[in-house]
Amino acid sequence: MALIVQKYGGTSVGSVERIGNVAARVKKHRDRGDDVVVVVSAMSGETNRLIALANEITREPSAREMDVLVSTGEQVTIALLCLALQEIGCAARSYTGAQVHILTDSSHSKARIMDIDHARVCADIKAGRVVVVAGFQGVDEKGDITTLGRGGSDTTAVAMAAALGADECQIFTDVDGVYTTDPRVEPKARKLDRITFEEMLEMASLGSKVLQIRSVEFAGKYNVPLRVLSSFEEGGEGTLITLEEEGVEAAKIAGIAFNRDEAKLTIRGVPDQPGVAHKILGPIGDANIEVDMIVQNIARDETTDFTFTVNRSDYGKALKILERVSRELGAAEVVGNDTIVKISLVGVGMRSHAGIASKMFATLSEEGINIQMISTSEIKISVVVDEKYLELGVRALHQAFDLAEESAA
């Protein structure tokens, strides 16, 4: 008998019929003797509908009242799922985030979980009930409702699993696991049986939308085994996300991630002097613009060219700031490019295998793809290329590293 936390997203509970399917799946686990805690999102489209209602009233709604409003979406789902479970003879009880007492800080719309009082949940489990918890929400020390931000239901599920000491946290989505890359770009992409927390964190940060980054961080910190499964397929094993196993040789590459939402900015001819990087990036950071990759080149005339990437949605704002900084520093010019993409190889096996980067560069060169920027970490190599080469680059690398094969080389 195991204690399992299951999370179902908005698509999985998008209609009364689908909620009934979730109830049937949960009951199967109960019939096997497992204890089950279910975390659910709002029904698909509901959160957007609620936000649209607020926007009809005011352009700048208060963050506190928005949390009160959007948290009602999950409250509907937990009640409907409990009713569906009770209808098929499965004892169940629902809880909002505040009722469980998921304590968060007071950062409305992006709150962080500080503590979970699981006494009521444990009492219900002991009494043989399925506990259904509203994802995405909590309560602060003042008693105000808070929300965890988009995708926060994943974080709720992992946090509940950690607090309860669950054997596994299962995330049910509209895909049947984590793939070596996006199957829509590379049809030969292979579903991974397992992946490490580190690899999944890199994949999530680089654009993979399967799991929310904060939930992966949480799972890695508290060593909660995560499994990604499909809500619409029975019997699949999905992908297990867990710690790196000692003594088991990891594949060189676990997968290829990519991000289309990239833009590049370059300030040329900046006087090369101490503090220049801060003078350039300080105003960018002050504008709450996140910088990703950075490259600095030194010229013979004691000037420097400074290039960095930002999210494409921040490109216009960053360009204006950089043009102002350029005038202040007496730089030669500012140029930008918002038609780039980032392609990344991810794999803990890089730690023990040489030649990954050179093979990546050679593969792209053979396809006539020019690399504009390069960034590396212990388990990741990222390159920036022109956006028109995205699909060609991903497919070429997927083939070069044999990721379609059953065991990646």
CATH number at residue 312: 3.30.2130.10
Q: What is the pLDDT of residue 395?
A: 96
CB–CB of 164/118 below 8 Å? Answer: yes
Instruction: Specify the pLDDT at position 207.
Output: 64
- Whether residue 384 contacts residue 309, with contact meaning beta carbons closer than 8 Å, is answered with yes
Has residue 228 been placed in a domain? no
Instruction: Return the higher-pLDDT residue of 250 and 61.
Output: 61
pLDDT 10s digits, 15-46: 999 999 999 999 999 999 999 999 999 999 99
**27 phi and psi angles, rounded to 5 deg:** -60, -35
Res. 406: pLDDT tops 70: no
Q: How confident is the model at residue 252 (pLDDT cuts 50, 70, 90)?
A: confident
- Asked if residue 269 and residue 159 are part of one domain, the reply reads no
Most confident option among 106-110, 144-148, 244-248: 144-148
10 shares a domain with 158: yes
Q: How many domains does the chain have?
A: 2
Q: Which residues does residue 311 pair with via DSSP β-bridges, in sequence order?
A: 262
pLDDT of residue 408: 44
Based on the domain organization, do 134 and 263 belong to the same domain?
no
Given 143, 174, 205, the domain boundary residue is 174
Residue 298 scores a pLDDT above 90: no
Position 336 scores a pLDDT of 95
Considering 149, 174, 199, which residue would you say is the last residue of a domain? 174
Average pLDDT, the chain: 91
Most confident range, picked from 24-28, 179-183, 235-239, 298-302 = 24-28
Contact 272, 304 (CB under 8 A): yes
Whether 179 maps to a domain, the answer reads: no
The residue out of 119, 139, 174 marking a domain boundary is: 174
Does 387 reside within a domain?
A: yes
Q: Is the dihedral of CA 70, 71, 76, 78 positive or negative?
A: positive
Task: Please give the C-alpha separations between residue 314 and each of 144, 385, 400, in angstroms, as whole numbers.
Answer: 32, 19, 34
My answer on whether 9 and 133 are in the same domain is yes
Of 32-46, 80-94, 191-205, 276-290, least confident by mean pLDDT is 191-205
Look up the domain containing 275 and give its range: 256-400
Specify whether 166 is located in the same domain as 20: yes
Spatial distance between the Cα atoms of 152 and 136, rounded to a whole number of angstroms? 4
Q: Does the reported pTM lie above 0.75?
A: yes
Better-scored residue on pLDDT, 94 or 182:
94
Question: CATH number for the domain including 99?
Answer: 3.40.1160.10
Same domain, 291 and 151: no
- 246 domain residue, yes or no: no
Average pLDDT rounded to a whole number, residues 169-184: 88
- Better pLDDT: 41 or 1: 41
